[in-house]
Structure formats: structure tokens, C-alpha cells
Chain A
Amino acid sequence: MAGSNPNAKPMNLTLNVWRQANRNAQGKIVEYHVKDISPEMSFLEMLDVLNEDLLHKGDDPVAFDHDCREGICGSCDLFINGRSHGPEKGTTTCQLHMRKFSDGDTITIEPWRANSFPINKDLSVDRSAFDRIIQAGGYVSVNTGGAPDGNEIPIPKDIADRAFEAATCIGCGACVAACKNASAMLFVSAKVSQLALLPQGNVERKTRVENMVAQMDKEGFGACTNIGSCAAECPVGISLENIAILNREFLAAKATSNNLA
């Protein structure tokens, strides 16, 4: 009612939702119906309505990951009508609003599909592989204390801005879910680019990219075949250019490797 479209009518929708009791259980699509959905609701608020309804009936509510509901924590991870985070470009599931759907629509809701993201329950997946990739080298090795004055490292504004753009990745995994190879290249490249662009990241530049790529492979993510669905579906607009940077960094590191491990 506060939006620009006060005349928008409540909607009735059919939901096809993936239900799976746990990692090892067999999953299946279950059909649900929700009524009187306001177009001003967010997609997750629509799922809240479904879950309250299920709970009142004594049924098990649908498990899904979410938290900040303002598009920044990267928790929400729904595959809606065959697309990561649904139909709206540059939007996380929590920021997708029901005004993008119409009365009578059938909406299919699945979890991210990738072997490296096992399903916890229903729509919740395990993305700890991303954490392990960061642990393999997604940092600058500085201990607390002893850092020089912040202004002793001048960084050209355009470089700082590009590093920032890469650093805005929210780690949701939409890129992996969108990729037919379940590749994590966009995620990995965002961190590699950020630190390769900045002088602070220069010291560990080679070992970082080698170790992160090695971990990415170990986790079982697929290879990149330059289709670009990852960048097209990324809710925060991480650019495909980062993958080019990653490839260049990786080749340069391999050609002049000082990684003795």
C-alpha cells in the first residue's frame, strides 16, 4: 500500500517447491497454494506466509536460508523458475518483490543445484566450499597491529574503485547455480581481482591465485567455458572481466611460479 501502485490486487499463486528431508534423503517437488499475496511483499515474505500456513496445519515448514533481507548478506539462495534469484536482473531473492509476478502464476522454487553445494534440507544448501577457497588464500597476510598509516599507501581512485567493484561479491553462489558447469570462477575471480589490483595484495599475488584455484578444483567446481551466465545472473553485477583477470593472474603465476609447495 505504500508503493506506487495502490491498485495492485492480491494474487493467488501455485508453488512447486523442492522438499528434501536431509542431505541423504530423496527429494521431490511438492505443490502448494498461497492466497491473497500482496504485490508489495518480498518473495521471502510470500514464503513466510506459506510457512505460517504449513505450521498451523501441523506440517513441516519449508527450510530456506535468509537473514539480512536487504540483499547484502548473501544467505538467500533460491532458484526460481529456472533462474538464480528469479526473474529480476541484479536482485537477490530477498529483494525480489511479488509485483514481478501475476495472479494465477505457477512458480517453481528449487535450491542451488551443484555437487559442490550439497543440500542441507529443502532449499538450504551447504556453501562451505566457498569459505575453504577463501581460506586457501583470499587474504593479505597482515597481523593485527603494526600497519602503516592508511595514507602511506596512496591508491589511484580508478584502481580503488575497480577493486571495490570486485570486492562487492556477496558469496551467495548464484554464479555457480547459473553455470551449466557449476563453475565457481566468478566468485574466485572477484577476490583474486580485488587483491591483484591493490598494492597491498601484490606480495602474495602468485601464491594466492595458485592456491585458490587449486582449492576450487579440489572442491569439485566445474571449468569455465566462457558462456557468461554467471555474470548475467549475479545479483550484485560482478563483471566477467574479473574472470579474464583471474586467467591472466593464473597464467602469469604458473609461468613464473615461486610456489614451492
Chain B
Amino acid sequence: MFLDSKAPEGPLAEKWDQHKFSVKLVNPANKRKYDVIVVGTGLAGASAAASLAELGYNVHAFTYHDSPRRAHSIAAQGGINAAKNYQNDGDSVFRLFYDTIKGGDYRAREANVYRLAQVSVQIIDQCVAQGVPFAREYGGLLANRSFGGAQVSRTFYARGQTGQQLLLGAYSALSRQVAYGKVRLHTRSEMLDLVVADGKAAGIVTRNLLTGAIENHAAHAVVLATGGYGNVFYLSTNAKYCNVTAAWRAHKKGAYFANPCFTQIHPTCIPVSGDYQSKLTLMSESLRNDGRVWVPKTKELAERLRKGEIKVKDLKEDDRDYFLERKYPAFGNLVPRDVASRNAKQMCDEGRGVGSTGLAVYLDFADIIQRTGAEAVSQKYGNLFAMYEKITDENPYELPMRIYPAVHYTMGGLWVDYNLQTTIPGLYATGECNFSDHGANRLGASALMQGLADGYFVIPYTIGDYLARTAPKPVDTSHPAFAEADKAVQERTAKLLAIKGNRTPDQFHKALGHIMWEYCGMARTAEGLTHAKAEIQKLKREFWQDLKLAGANEEMNQALEKAGRVADFIELGELMVDDALDRNESCGGHFREEYQTPEGEALRDDENYAYVAAWEYMGDNQPERLNKEELQFENVKLTQRSYK
């Protein structure tokens, strides 16, 4: 199928304004006749639900949490980018656009990214007006910090809790609409299927996580803001509940899934400590502003350090290799995430890693502490240092942090056009759930920006264009497609409970995570991926024969919830492997060992792979069909990314 991005014609800087003028509007008096379902209440979902309700639509917001405020956006630490140029350091909308396209290794759509940069400035204004307590200078104006992949200071922040403050802002706007009766909030409700009637999104099927009741909900349009799928790796910085189920069920109902293999491995996470490990904790990228990354200069020194024969403090300056500063003098410790992660892995592969497992590098704050004092450092990073100490029992004011890359974000997601509409009419995807703005690698502090851009400033315009073409008639769940989806959900749940095998959902999840991390993680090869595909298929068969659960559907049953999510992760894992196998190039977070420059940097193939891979579901156990959206670059020149 030809994938029409619907990106408007005309000069880049005028596309969004022209588009806003050309889209159809819904008469203010008619807006109350439309129902919109928003699934997910993180930044992308809460902002969309609040903004749509403010416009007058009837919004039904769904979350599997007990409260909208628990969504994982809350855990974002470092900040949010905006092209305000408050620092007078040369920032502009075009520079943020350019940095994002380049940072994404030229695999994102120009028109979407430019719009993102444009609306970034409004996001800050909106959040300030809501009472979000951003960091400020002594003169009372907003403060900024720098982030990886940029040479300007454009990141707004609230100490190390920016995501929390932005989410609580969006949550407050959502709560206000709940009080007005314009948003109906459904908590502890998990979307288990999308209902497509007469070729259009018509509603969803949910399971009440306290009673097990399967419920049908109808609407004129459905917005998925259900986050990313990093937990396919089992261990990631995602929250435990984060999953792909809503997006995956939509995929199986006809929404194409784009670039699933584009996953981001974040360079600065607390290393794994044991088999019982349930999740990984990020240490914000902002720490790379002031922390210096290093490993011992030689393998011998690293070995002695691991054995405890020498201590960190015994290593003189000459014994240390500040490898990012050495290899990338222009960007130093602030190279983009994919570059920093790969280099850390390389050091550990060379045997120069530290910590008892040898799978860690140092992030050292001795210099900045000496220069500005511990108090100043605590002002900036206090909560992060405290968190590190709680987890590792080591004091980062005295010893360098040990860090290692971990899965953090997924650039891939449901394919959407310029309107954020998927290939199913009436189904939209916003935030991390879609594939749209970050190409093959996301820059730091851009996830919060995209989630809020989509929810506050894009979807309120673009969804109107669809609704204006839909009759304002009341909707209900009488269409046979609802009964069909409802039945399928009931049967699937019953099937999971009836297996009565020997392995728990967590055991299957860990096994899947191991395959994905080994063969579809930081470095990939055709051989490894082919092996992984067979392993995943085997795991899928075992899952449906040997799963062990307890209890029933008609109660709070967390193992059952988990099982449904793991089943979807297994299927997604196979598609990720297919996608990684198809892409015979290295770009951003996708590093195929066969395709690298002599210096070990990612080697893109723009001639053959400058496309978005949009996968189409063809039925159970059938190979998915690849559809391509060719990317056109009219405003940036494709170059080998260099941060040297």
C-alpha cells in the first residue's frame, strides 16, 4: 500500500500554519456531540484528553493505573527541550529541527520534526501558566541546561524531576476537566482490543483490573497514548507495567507498526547487580554535563580494580582513559546517546570495564565537586545522587558512579501520518506510542517535548479534521464488531488460564528479554538475528503450552495481566528481529556489525534504506508485509553524522 504521509506542500516553515488553516473545523456547538477515547494518561494522553475536553469534546480517558498521575512520564528526569533561545546562544526553531533530524540519523520525517520544534516554545509557556515550578535564575527568569547532541542550552528542567512536574501539570489540567464532567476517567482499566467497524476505529474493549469485567466502549475516534515497548527486553528503565498490548492489538487490527527495531539504549544507567533484578534505574543524561566518563587505560589495571587489588583513587590521571573526550573532542561527554552507549560497550568488550561484573564504566564528578563544591552539585543533582546511593550503597560525592547502558526508549511505534492518524481511519497515536519524530535515535529531553507537543498542540487540530467528516450522531456498542472483539478477549483470557503449565509469566518474559538483549540489543548481526527469530518462535510455542497462572479472571489477578502482556511482547519481539534483519545498514540505535566505518561508527545506506519500514499484520503466524514510506529530505543535507 502507498503510505501517504499527508505532509503539506510548501516551504518547511509554513507547512504547519497552512495545514492548520486547511483542516476542517468542528463547529463549537457540535463538539459536544463527539466522543473521543484517549488510552493512557501520561504526558501525551493527559495533555490530549485535557485539551480535547477544553475544546468541548466528550473525552473518555483510560488508564490501567489507580490514578492518571502514576504514568511513567512521571519518571523522566532531565528536562524538556524548547527553541526559546533565552540563552542568546544561537538557538532557533531551525536549529532544534536540524539537531533532531541529525540526532535521529536522518530517519525521521522532516515536516513532523519541524512542527515539533515550532510548537516546543508554546509548551514551555503552557506549562509555566499551569504552575509547573521550572528551575529559575536569581533574576526570576527560566533557567536552562545543556543536553547531549546539542551545542546550545535549550533544556528546561525542574531539578531531576522534570517529568514529574510536567505530568502533574497535565494531570491537573485533566483533573479540572474531570471536575467539569467533560472527561470521564476510567482507572484500573486495561485496553485489550481495538474495535474496528466498517473500516474505522469505533471503540475499545477493556478489562477492569479489580473485577475482571470485560467492558465495551464506543467513540467517534480513538487516541492511543500508551507509551513505548522497551520492556520487551525485560530489563529496561521503563516502569514494570509499561507494555505494548494496546498498540499491538491495534496493529493486529490493521494499524501498521513502523521501525520496530529502533530502540534506544541509554548510556547512563545503574548496572545490573544480580539475577533477581526487576528493572534498571536511569541516571539522567544531564549528569553528563558535569560528570566525566572514563575507564582504566589498560585491561590489566581494570582487572586489578575488579579484583579489589587496587582502589579507584589509586588510579592517577595518566591511568585513566576519558574515552568520549578523547574520541569526540567537539562534543566530549555530550555525544548523543547511541554513540555514548556503543563506546561504553566497546570499552567493556575490550576488558576495561569496572565493577564486579566488568560491565560498567565510571561517571566521575570529582572535577566539578572540586571546582564548585559539593553543595552546588547537590543543588543540581541532589535527588539523583541520593537515588544512586540508595540503590548501590555507594556515595557518589566520594566515589565515581558506575554506569552501563540500558534499554530506555523506543523510537519505533505505530505508523502515523502528519495528522498523527494511523493506517486505521479514526485511530490516532501520540507520544512514544507512535514512530514519528525521533528517527533512529532520540535526543535527550525530546521525549517530554514530543509527548506534550502531540497532546497539547497537534491532536486538538488534526482530530477535528477527521471528526468534521464524521456525522455527529450518538455512538453505541451495538455494531457486531463489538460483540466479536469482546468474545475474542474473553476467549483469549480463558485460554491463558486454561494452559496450567509450569512456567510463570515472569520466566517467559526473562527468557524473551535475554534473547532480545543478546541478539537485538546494542549490536546486531544477520546471523544473530536469524538465530533469535527461531528462538522467539520456539518461546512462543512454549508459552502457549506451558504457562502457569493461578486464580481466575473475575478478581484482581496481576499474574494474568502480566501473561497477556508477555504474549504480545513475544510477538512484537519477532517483528523487531524481522525489521532489524531487513535494515541492512547501521543508523542511530540500530547498529548492525556488518555495516560500520573503519572507526567503528554507524554506516548508513541512504540510497537503499532512507525509508520508514511500516509493517502490516497478515494473520497469526504469517510473515508480516513490509510497506515503505520513502523519506524526502529537502531542507537538510544527508551527511555522515560526526560529533568529533
Contact = CB atoms under 8 A, between A and B. Distances in A.
B315 interface: no
Contacts of A24: none
Contacts of B72: 67-68, 73
B391 A140 contact: no
Interface of A: 1-6, 21-22, 38, 40-42, 44-45, 48-49, 51-52, 54-56, 58-61, 63, 65-75, 90-91, 95, 97, 99, 120-121, 124, 126-128, 130-131, 134-136, 138-145, 147-151, 153-157, 160-161, 163-164, 167-168, 170-171, 194-195, 198, 200-201
B65 A55 contact: no
Contact of A4 (B133, B390, B393): B393
Nearest to B72: A68
B161 interface: yes
A38 B274 contact: yes
Interface in B488-546: 502, 504, 506-507
B66 interface: yes
A3 B392 contact: yes
A210 B299 CA distance: 66
A136 B502 CA distance: 49
B84 interface: yes
A200 B356 contact: no
A61 B559 contact: yes
B559 A55 contact: yes
A142 B130 contact: yes
19 contacts: A2-B360, A2-B402, A4-B394, A6-B356, A40-B273, A49-B276, A55-B559, A68-B74, A68-B75, A70-B281, A70-B282, A72-B161, A126-B66, A139-B131, A141-B176, A142-B130, A143-B54, A144-B50, A171-B69
Interface stretch (B106-114, B164-172, B252-260): B164-172
Given A121-B556, A143-B54, A157-B137, A69 B278 contact: yes
Interface string B274-288: 101111011000000
A52 B130 CA distance: 44
A58 B239 contact: no
Contacts of A142: 126, 129-130, 173
B133 A194 contact: yes
B147 interface: no
A134 B168 CA distance: 10
B504 A167 contact: no
Contacts of B337: none
B356 A131 contact: no
Given A56-B502, A168-B164, 12 more contacts: A2-B357, A48-B278, A51-B559, A55-B550, A59-B550, A72-B164, A124-B556, A136-B179, A144-B457, A154-B140, A164-B159, A198-B131
B126 A147 contact: yes
A127 B138 CA distance: 38
B277 A121 contact: no
Nearest to A133: B175
Interface of B: 47, 50-51, 54, 65-72, 74-75, 84, 86, 122, 124-131, 133-142, 158-159, 161, 164-165, 168, 171-173, 175-176, 178-179, 185, 187, 210, 239-241, 271-274, 276-279, 281-282, 355-357, 360, 386-387, 390-394, 402, 456-457, 460, 502, 504, 506-507, 548-551, 555-556, 558-559
Contact of B239 (A5, A67, A121, A195): A67
Contacts of A44: 278
B390 A121 contact: no
Nearest to B126: A147
A41 B65 contact: no
Contact of B549 (A2, A55, A141, A161): A55
A147 B122 contact: yes
A1 B241 contact: no
Nearest to B185: A131
Contacts of B134: 150, 160
A48 B276 contact: yes
A251 B65 CA distance: 35
B159 A75 contact: no
Give the most central of B392, B457, B502: most A CB within 10 Å.
B392
Nearest to A155: B140
B69 A74 contact: yes
B569 to A, nearest CB: 17
B550 A58 contact: yes
A52 B278 CA distance: 13
Nearest to A215: B179
B173 A139 contact: yes
A60 to B, nearest CB: 5
A200 B66 contact: no
A172 B456 CA distance: 27
A50 to B, nearest CB: 12
Contacts of B86: 151
A150 B124 contact: yes
A200 B136 contact: no
A120 B276 contact: no
Contacts of A41: 274, 276
A151 B136 CA distance: 10
A222 B184 CA distance: 28
Contacts of A69: 239-240, 278-279, 281
A73 B165 contact: no
A23 B276 CA distance: 31
> 8 closest A-B pairs (Cβ-Cβ)?
A154-B140, A139-B172, A147-B129, A164-B133, A2-B273, A147-B125, A150-B128, A144-B51
A65 to B, nearest CB: 7
B375 to A, nearest CB: 14
Contacts of B127: 150
A157 B276 contact: no
B276 A38 contact: yes
A48 B210 CA distance: 20
A208 B121 CA distance: 29
Given A38-B274, A52-B506, A167-B165, A128 B187 contact: yes
Given A4-B394, A120-B556, A135-B176, A75 B65 contact: yes
A121 to B, nearest CB: 4
A240 to B, nearest CB: 20
Given A70-B387, A73-B74, A144-B126, A52 B68 contact: no
Nearest to B357: A2
A66 B240 contact: yes
Contacts of B168: 167
Nearest to A38: B274
Contacts of B71: 73
Give the most central of B165, B172, B173, B548: most A CB within 10 Å.
B172
B66 A128 contact: yes
A143 B360 CA distance: 46
A195 B130 CA distance: 9
Contact of A135 (B137, B179, B392): B179
A2 B187 contact: no
A150 B156 CA distance: 11
A72 to B, nearest CB: 5
Contacts of B272: 2
B171 A134 contact: yes
B548 to A, nearest CB: 6
B128 A200 contact: yes
Contacts of B390: 71, 91, 95, 97
Contacts of A63: 556, 558
Nearest to B163: A72
Given A5-B393, A72-B164, A67 B179 contact: no
Nearest to A64: B558
B140 A157 contact: yes
Contacts of A70: 75, 279, 281-282, 387
Contacts of B129: 140, 142, 147-148, 153, 200
Contact of B172 (A140, A147, A170): A140
Given A95-B390, A150-B84, A75 B281 contact: no
